Structure 1
Amino acid sequence: MKARSLEAGLRWRLVAVLTLLWVAGTLGAGVALWHETGEVLDSALAETAQRLLVLPLQDDEAATPRVAEVGEHEERVIYQVFDARGRLRLRSHEAPEEPLGQDLADGLHRLGPWRVAVITRDDGRRRAVVAEALEHRVESVTESLLALMWPLAVLLPAAVVLVGVVIRRGLAGVRQTGEALDRRAAHELDPLPLAPVPVEMQPFVRSVNALLARVGQLLQAEQAFAAQAGHELRTPLAAARAQAQRLLAHTGDEGLQERVRSLLRQIDRLTRTSERLLDLARLRGGAALRRSALDLAELARLVVSDFGGEGAAVSVRVVAPPPVLQADADLLALALRNLVENALRHGRTPVVVEVAPGRLTVLDAGAGVSPEEWERLARPFERGATPAGGTGLGLALVAQVARAHGAELRAAQAPGGGFAVTLEWPRPR
């Protein structure tokens, strides 16, 4: 599943909540506005009807109804005035000639699309009918609601930015803690500080600290066991080898000599395993690197010279003069020696150590392994399906040396055929 951003999720959820609250508040205001506007306009209709009742009009039966003409304009309110006999005496220019609300009692009424106010004088001589189109009220309230919604459209982008800034600052402590954890080396298992982290996230950080403590205890136990086992094995193995060599020197039996040589090979294998265990324990224990200026080409030549018995099987090729590198020469030599031994043992000759700026590559003519198999072999005590011997610690040691130096260990098929294992340092920025 794709990882989701907590910051983005909170930002859009808060903006959505603010938008919903604004819309809900606007709708609530619209309901209140409709009610209050209705009361005000109903009162205005009644007041208009009362004023019409006191206008001077002719009561002559022969008089024609008067029409209020004030020029063309949009008339939102129309009115009619009737005499005691129900005859129309006065009307607005858009009011119909037929009576509005003829059978309606005095008061406020809804008549089709109209809101109608009907008032009759106490003496019964005159009756006024004033009507307003309900469409006008709906239009007024709608325009008011739209006026309330416009700020939301303007402020919403600003709200997105401001909410994002507030959340980003609130989560700054969490981000700093994560970045500090990413920058840590593999052996740095000190607890994370709680101070910069919000209170809600502190239980999570405490759990991480507890996990780091447990991992540290397990690593310490593993390192102590490996170091102790290596130290304890070194002396008896040296003594056993000395006794086997003495036995080989003082016996003339060919069969017994062959058995002693086999014993010596097994003792040497155990010795290499104990030495590798000690090296791994030192690296995993976070031992400080003894860094110094190092020429990779000189290091490669020095390591290859240890394989002089191989003749032309191992050689050095300098692609370009490498810059001076700050590194632990002993550990890098140990890693390179392991890679060359693996190439000789599991690959095919010739083996070439290629030196380039920030890169050491060991190439052999073998078929190599798949990426999945390579990932497995880089773990301690993992061996490939080959008849050649080995401890299963060589690549694990090389990977540990690479991590300690900030380099990357990778393997791939060589462009010209064969298999290539590379130690590469990142380019300086």
Structure 2
Amino acid sequence: MGRKPRLRRGFSEADNDEDGDRLVVQVRDKQGLVLLHSNHAPSSPLSLIPVPGFTENKGWRIYTEAAVSGTIFIQIAELESRRDEETLEAAFGFLLPLVLLTPLAAIVCWLILERSLRPVLTLRSEIAGRHGDNLASIRTEDLPLELAAIAKSVNSLMRRLGMALSAEREFTANAAHELRTPIAGALAQAERLLAEAPDLNVGNRARQIRASLANLAGLSEKLMQLARADAGVAAASQPVDLGSVAALVVEEFGRSAGQGEIDLVRPSKDAPMVEIDQDALAIVIRNLVENAVRHGASGKPVKISIGKDASLRIINECG
């Protein structure tokens, strides 16, 4: 016959049981006496009366389950301090990777956004670079479909704008050109009338007509110059000294009687250079100075100021 098994007051756990130091077990009868307990469990009862479910007593968190028709109770308990320690360890184990991965995730997201928005920035810079002198079409081959549609709309708008500007320039040039011949003929007739008129009153009127026609001829010439500048003829491959051209204009005004005083202020060193035809630049400066003299206060000087950044300022005093 085999030997009769004996009850043991304690039962051991395997050495590799990770819960052996954390959870303890007691087996009790319905009177509350401890029949069996694990190695790390106290020999005294964990609670006064075993009640199924979760309870707390003397720093223990206890779960009780009834068995054998309520005559045996199995209790599994854990110290609350150990429970809090495990909670902190779990929280730390969760937060540490989160803290380390958050900056990395932010950098990755920034790189992805920067790469995704690069076509938008390219399209923006292309549109910003378009102006009256640059109406070239925007390349759409390297753009996403959504942005390519926007670029095509901008190209269509620039084509219509280019046609409108071309029509305006052609009209200005043609109008000025067509006006030159009749104005010249009328001016010649006024000169002849002035030479042949014996009456003083008729001569005065002829001189007024001649002065009006001369002003109209000057306006026509300015329209031609404007059309020439708008067409890009004024552009030059070699830069010219802005201060020297302004000095020539001032010298020309000084030789003309009744033009008023003109002061020129320009840098003594590092002459500012501009890429524009010298004659066209002189025409622009002269027109600006003429307007300043005509609309400025009588007897007050006109000041021409040239900055080191090639900026040109013409200042007059209003009456």
**Change beyond 3 A, Cα 1:143–1:253:** farther
Residue in structure 2 matched with residue 337 of structure 1 by the alignment: 286
Alpha-carbon offset, residue 289 of structure 1? 1.0
Distance 2:198 2:6 in 1: 150
Distance 2:144 2:222 in 1: 45
Q: Pick from 146, 151, 162: which aligns with 1:200? A: 146
Alpha-carbon offset, residue 292 of structure 1? 3.5
**Change beyond 3 A, Cα 1:149–1:120:** same
Residue in structure 1 matched with residue 24 of structure 2 by the alignment: 77
Distance 2:246 2:194 in 1: 36
Alpha-carbon offset, residue 333 of structure 1? 0.3
Equivalent residues, number:
291
Residue in structure 1 matched with residue 7 of structure 2 by the alignment: 56
Residue in structure 1 matched with residue 48 of structure 2 by the alignment: 98
Equivalent residue letter for 1:351: V
Cα RMSD (Å): 3.5
- Contact 2:240–2:276 (8 Å) recurs in 1: yes
- Contact 1:319–1:354 (8 Å) recurs in 2: no
Residue in structure 2 matched with residue 426 of structure 1 by the alignment: none
- Contact 2:259–2:293 (8 Å) recurs in 1: no
Q: Pick from 297, 302, 311: which aligns with 1:351? A: 302
Distance 1:262 1:324 in 2: 43
Secondary structure in 1 aligned to 2:276?
A: strand
Displaced runs of 4+ in structure 1, greater than 6 A?
A: 134-139
- Contact 2:243–2:271 (8 Å) recurs in 1: no
Residue in structure 1 matched with residue 314 of structure 2 by the alignment: 362
Q: Pick from 213, 220, 245: which aligns with 1:274? A: 220
Distance 2:6 2:145 in 1: 76
Q: Pick from 57, 64, 70: which aligns with 1:116? A: 64
Equivalent residue letter for 1:362: I
**Is structure 2 residue 281 aligned with structure 1 residue 328?**
no
Residue in structure 2 matched with residue 381 of structure 1 by the alignment: none
Give deviations 1:127-157, integer Å, cap 9, x for gaps. Answer: 2412345977898578546534432321221
Give deviations 1:330-378, integer Å, cap 9, x for gaps. Answer: 11101110121122111133234455644544344x148xxxxxxxxxx
**Change beyond 3 A, Cα 1:267–1:333:** same
Alpha-carbon offset, residue 287 of structure 1? 3.5
Distance 2:264 2:34 in 1: 120
**Change beyond 3 A, Cα 1:253–1:116:** farther
**Change beyond 3 A, Cα 1:208–1:143:** farther
Residue in structure 2 matched with residue 88 of structure 1 by the alignment: 33
Equivalent residue letter for 1:343: A
Give deviations 1:271-313, integer Å, cap 9, x for gaps. Answer: 2332232222233333361343534443233212332213762
Residue in structure 1 matched with residue 200 of structure 2 by the alignment: 254
**Is structure 2 residue 185 aligned with structure 1 residue 239?**
yes
Distance 1:179 1:210 in 2: 18
Distance 2:114 2:32 in 1: 76
Higher RCO (CA 8 Å, separation ≥ 6 residues): 1
TM (normalized to structure 2)?
Answer: 0.75
**Change beyond 3 A, Cα 1:352–1:140:** closer
**Change beyond 3 A, Cα 1:260–1:75:** same
- Contact 1:234–1:274 (8 Å) recurs in 2: yes
Secondary structure in 2 aligned to 1:334?
A: helix
**Change beyond 3 A, Cα 1:311–1:278:** closer
TM (normalized to structure 1)?
Answer: 0.58
Distance 1:350 1:55 in 2: 126
Q: Pick from 281, 296, 299: which aligns with 2:245? A: 299
Distance 1:110 1:179 in 2: 69
Structure 1 unaligned regions, length at least 5: 1-53, 58-65, 369-429
Residue in structure 1 matched with residue 75 of structure 2 by the alignment: 130
**Change beyond 3 A, Cα 1:169–1:75:** closer
- Contact 2:190–2:206 (8 Å) recurs in 1: yes
Residue in structure 1 matched with residue 14 of structure 2 by the alignment: none
Distance 1:275 1:319 in 2: 32
**Change beyond 3 A, Cα 1:97–1:154:** closer
- Contact 1:343–1:363 (8 Å) recurs in 2: yes
**Change beyond 3 A, Cα 1:296–1:220:** closer
